Amino acid sequence: MSNLVIVESPSKAGTVKNYLGSGYKVVASIGHVRDLPKSTLGVDIENGFKAKYINIRGKGPLIASLKKDAKKADKIYLAADPDREGEAISWHLVAALDIPQEKVCRVTFNEVTKNAVKTAIKNPRAIDIDLVNSQQARRILDRIVGYKLSPFFWKTIHGGLSAGRVQSVATRIIVEREAEIRSFVPEEYWTIEARFRTENGEAFSARYFGEGKTKNELHSKEDADEILNDIGDKPFVVSEVKRSKRAKNPQPPFTTSTLQQDASRKLGFRSTKIMQVAQELYEGVNIGAENGGTQGLITYMRTDSLRIADEAKDRAAEYIRSVYGEKYVPKTPRIYKTKSGSQDAHEAIRPANPSLDPEKLKKYLSADQYKLYKLIFNRFMASQMASAELDTVVADINCSGHVFRASGYTVRFRGCLAVYGSSDDGEQNDRGGDAMTQGALPAMEAGEEVTKEKLEGICHFTEPPARFSEGSLVKFLEEKGIGRPSTYSTIITTIITRGYVERDGKILKPTSLGEVTTELMKKYFPEVVDYEFTAQMESSLDNIEHGNSSIESVLGSFYGEFAKQLEAAEMSVSKDDVKLPVEETDIICEKCGAKMVVKTGRYGKFAACPNYPDCKNTKPINAKSSRSSETVQESAPVPGMKCEKCGADMVLRSGRYGSFYACSNYPECKTTKQIVKKIGVKCPVCGGDIITKRGKNKAFFYSCENYEKCGFSSWDMPLDEKCPKCGQMLFKKKGKPLAVCHNKECGYKCDYEDKTDTNKDKAEG
């Protein structure tokens, strides 16, 4: 009996293969093998929102190879990731590979370890069609919103724009925070800070609290001066000292959201980097033969559950006991309650083997892998440790009824703080707090007089809300129920890539394009960008997963109103109604002397003369330096490329027909050179790479890079697929949805879904 195991990635395949041995062949699908077509909507709205799936272009050889393996196997274990997306990948594999149902074995494991993998193989199940339908509903919903809204944006703002369901909501969040900041009016407030010394000569600080037990806020210099004048040189006496013990409980282990927040704040990682490195740790790293070879180091990293397996708790307790001692182990294992509405299919993120200390593995990990693994390891260990114990002291110092307050603490027992501190460390109250907090306060008793060393009023102004970082945006999305753990990173990447939001250091700011599109969406498509509606839609998708709703009912309830709004918007809005703010540059037009402005065309941003159409001068600009407050630069020289005529550097330029290389001495030297792009297909004549070129009429054609020797070229697009009749190369006919055989005598042809329209690629949300 032969066994085939299909996972998603080659690295995961290598790890799993090590655990299963020679009786199993382990291969990778490299993600999805089927998807909706890119050139059309691919959804039959009138027929119950039925999806039309096609094989993903370029995966023909892989699918053919997988089919061969599947035919030879007696059992096929579909081991894609344990979530909606993984379930859908498994379902698509069954269809694409024509796998008989009796061969299908769906297996999942929360961690890529030997025990977890072997246990999963012994306990296969059927594909969960409710889970698949939930993924399908999300995919179809996002496709409808993206493909229906994007053309509306093209007509009203400019071509090439795209709209997305959750991405539009995320953009709105950042836009509205920016509006709050702009409209914020600072309020003045004052604090009075004091420096005292006890009878024993020990110094400490305190802050004005109020009168007696009543807190008193100071709104002006006059308020502060009134207190200072009344105090004068009067004595300060300790009126009350409160001592107490406080327990500081550990934080729960990481979920996807909290991992992204802490890794962003503590490590400075971007969300995409966090998830990429976490994926590497999950799929498997070679940590040396002495540590068990290649194995997954963390559990599945897309989860919102706080559940921990009992076995993991026991192993964590053993580690804590051996490293820190018995008193660091809580009397009863900790249980953390998962938020309502969360998916509890997976555990929280934790080390797969709690005995593998980060320092022990450091030499086997990359710098980023080590940092993230250490963060996950320490957070998990702390979550399983005893609470820290703090001795706190609050002292009130009185002067003629004016009370100053100081607070301090010492750590009696480190507990969980020995491993991991609070995520809120370093955060301060905007109004300064009720007391001057510091470390240990000196010993003092009620009735003791203290010496005033310094007393001053300090002016402050309230600050506007902070802009979002990637971590704080993820936190906000989670709190509002927008998106799911698997989508946070993609949401952020998408809104930045599409130009609606930009990074400024670690913070996220809306662009003028983001602000204009958000206002348009709020006015004409309020439900699509409504926080509560988006969260409710997430719940509806969850209901499909639980078998309580159908794809047709969920999408039908959304589409009816959406279609009406779209029709009304298309009738009401024209391109003249929407104006993007003009961005000035520091480039001076050499033809008329005006300051050039930033414009956006189908090939990106460029500098244009504001006196158009009288002056039609344009220049390429560095997109990252288009703001008026920054220096705009010409395109940088292309490394290693010199002009063949004058020897000057060649630079990258954009024109009406796309990007090209041009001499930096233009207009004195007008040498240009095409940009050659490989399409990933080999020449059928000589085996060289096939590249794209432009002909004299500016139209694209395909040519072998060794054209001078082999002479191969074609107007039709060569495909990385073979004719099923004669084995020669198939070509996509230009302008027609047909794939035809290179061998004219063969005459084979079939339907082919065109997937090369990049403008329509952008349409999807």
Reading phi first (left if > 0) and then psi (alpha if -120 to 50, else beta), residue 126 is in beta
Cis ω for the linkage preceding 667 (within 30 of 0): yes
Q: Which residue has the tokens 């009350």?
A: 240
Burial of 493 (0-12, 13-18, 19+ CB in 10 A): middle
Burial of 223 (0-12, 13-18, 19+ CB in 10 A): middle
Phi, psi of 141 (to 5 degrees): -60, -45
| C-alpha–C-alpha distance, residues 472 and 492, integer Å | 12
Q: With contact defined as beta carbons under 8 Å apart, do 153 and 161 qualify?
A: yes
| C-alpha–C-alpha distance, residues 383 and 395, integer Å | 32
- Give the ranges where 195-270 is alpha helix by DSSP (H): 221-231, 256-262
| C-alpha–C-alpha distance, residues 116 and 350, integer Å | 14
> Parallel, antiparallel, or unpaired: how do β-strands 75-78 and 3-7 relate?
parallel
Q: With contact defined as beta carbons under 8 Å apart, do 145 and 122 qualify?
A: no
Dihedral of the alpha carbons of 55, 56, 58, 64, in degrees to the nearest 10: -30
Give Rg (Cα) of the chain. 32
Q: With contact defined as beta carbons under 8 Å apart, do 676 and 693 qualify?
A: yes
3-state DSSP assignment of residue 242: strand
Tokens of 268: 């400075």
Residues contacting 523, CB < 8 A, separation 6+: none
What per-residue string of b and e applies to 341-375 under the rule 16 or more CB within 10 Å gives b? ebbebbbbbbbbbbebbbeebeeebeebbbbbbbb
| C-alpha–C-alpha distance, residues 260 and 262, integer Å | 6
Handedness of CA 258, 261, 264, 269 (dihedral sign): positive
The CA distances from residue 472 to 11, 175, 278, 515, in Å, are: 31, 15, 19, 20
3-state secondary structure 333-370: CCCCCCCCCCCCCCCCECECCCCCCHHHHHHHCCHHHH
What per-residue string of b and e applies to 66-83 under the rule 16 or more CB within 10 Å gives b? beebbeebebbbbbbbbb
300 is catalytic: yes
Catalytic position from the list 77, 147, 208, 300: 300
| C-alpha–C-alpha distance, residues 135 and 541, integer Å | 8
Query: Number of C-alpha atoms within 13 angstroms, CB side, residue 100?
Result: 7
Going by C-alpha positions, the residue among 228, 19, 189, 216 that lies closest to residue 121 is 19
The CA distances from residue 435 to 202, 402, 447, 532, 752, in Å, are: 18, 14, 19, 38, 72
Q: How far, rounded to the nearest angstrom, does the alpha carbon of residue 353 sit from its chain's CA centroid? A: 27
What per-residue string of b and e applies to 604-633 under the rule 16 or more CB within 10 Å gives b? ebbbbbeeeeebebbbbbeeeebbeeeebe
Residues with a known catalytic role: 300
